[in-house]
Copies of this chain bind each other. A is one copy, B any other.
Amino acid sequence: MDLTEIPINEEKVFTGRLLDVRKYTVKLPNGKESTREIVVHPGAVAMLPVEDDYVYLVEQYRFPISQTLLEVPAGKFDEPGEEPLECGKRELEEEIGKTAEKWIYLGYIHTTPGFSNEVIHLYLVKDLKTTQTNPDEDEFLEIKKIKIKEFEKMILENKITDAKTIACYSRAKLLGEI
């Protein structure tokens, strides 16, 4: 069965500093009409930096969930269509003050396919060199160096709950790289 939903109308319902929200009228596979509301996202890159038996994570306050979260370094594309590798290099240096010689692509994920088109490209990065952190003006974060075994335990014990971070771990593990 063809499950495609055909858009027949588009309306911009909110354009903010960060969010672009649109409402569509769609034609369903059964011919009926329905509405779809989506958040249009530019896309992002996340990377798991590995050094010896350690990973680097960042802890930052996430306003939507009113708590801090431990996550892999990540950042949005400056513009749609930016090269993932270019974006990744910028964000790695901005967030943990390092560059990496080795970038292993781990594919991408869809974080919330029910209401957003956000795609996050994932990398494992190795052969790190220290430069200096250069966080965005409104960005406050703390860098954490954690043993890989402890990182695994934190994922299992629900202490790491960020989806992209778990996906980086999972693909790197399946690849035999950590």
A140 pairs with B170, CB closer than 8 A: no
> How many copies of this protein are present in the complex?
2
B113 pairs with A26, CB closer than 8 A: no
Judge whether A24 is part of the interface by a CB distance below 8 angstroms: yes
Residues of chain A from 19 to 50 with CB closer than 8 A to chain B in the complex: 19, 21, 23-24, 26, 28-30, 32, 34-39, 41
Chain B min CB distance to A154 (Å): 10
CB < 8 Å: which of B1, B32, B152 contacts A142?
Answer: B1
Chain A interface residue count, CB cutoff 8 Å, equals: 70
Chain B min CB distance to A177 (Å): 11
Judge whether A8 is part of the interface by a CB distance below 8 angstroms: no
Per-residue B-contact encoding for A83-115, CB less than 8 Å = 1, 0 else? 000000000000000000000000111111111
CB < 8 Å: which of B7, B26, B59, B161 contacts A109?
Answer: B161
CB < 8 Å: which of B13, B113, B158 contacts A64?
Answer: B113
Chain B min CB distance to A54 (Å): 19
B116 pairs with A112, CB closer than 8 A: yes
Judge whether A5 is part of the interface by a CB distance below 8 angstroms: yes
By a beta-carbon cutoff of 8 Å, the part of chain A in contact with chain B is: 1, 3-5, 7, 13-14, 16-19, 21, 23-24, 26, 28-30, 32, 34-39, 41, 59-65, 68-69, 71, 107-119, 138, 140-142, 152, 155-158, 161-164, 166-167, 169-171, 173-175
